[in-house]
Amino acid sequence: MFCVEEQPCHLSYEVHCASSWRTRSASVVGWLGRTPVKIVLEVMPGGRWTVNGSEQGEEVTGLIDIDLGFTPSTNLIQLRRLSLDIDHEIEAPVAYLRFPELTLGRLEHRYRRIALDKYDYQAPAFGYAAILQVSDLGFVTQYPGLWALEALQ
């Protein structure tokens, strides 16, 4: 549980991908304060995105990856799909579910793999740049200034 504007929140999510790590759909359920949340995101033929059945604009058409703005776990999907070699970099825009607004838009991502377990990551729209630490499987374990994996007891 975490807070937005001093209100309790709880969100659960699922992301479904093809074997190529291309996002097919995602769902988010829970609550923000006293407001229930139920969102279904789907990628339709032609790369068109829908939110709860409503087609979204051209801004997100053709984007392959989803980024749920309240968790670093969706970076895993993109990192696995891109499968960058060390010293390679790529611009990889995503369909971004803004938090706490829960609206869909485009967000530019830039990744450069600098080690087996590190990526130089940038999200220019937020002025954010940092070195992301990842596990052997690609899960983000350190997202400087925003998130860190707690040690398992």
List the chain domain ranges: 2-148
Q: Which two tokens stand for residue 26?
A: 């995602």
Which tens digit of pLDDT belongs to each residue from 72-81?
999 999 999 9
Of the candidates 88, 124, 121, 119, the residue with the CA atom closest to the CA atom of residue 107: 124
Which tens digit of pLDDT belongs to each residue from 66-111?
999 999 999 999 999 999 999 999 999 999 999 999 999 999 999 9
Instruction: Report residue 135: phi and psi, to 5°.
Output: -80, 180
Residue 82 is predicted with a pLDDT of 96
Of the candidates 144, 134, 139, 90, the residue with the CA atom closest to the CA atom of residue 112: 90
Residue 150 is predicted with a pLDDT of 85
Residue 126 is predicted with a pLDDT of 95
Residue 1 is predicted with a pLDDT of 46
One-letter amino acid of 3: C
Using DSSP, state whether 97 is helix, strand or coil: strand
Which tens digit of pLDDT belongs to each residue from 21-61?
999 999 999 999 999 999 999 999 999 999 999 999 999 99
> What's the rounded Cα separation, in Å, for the pair 63 and 93?
7
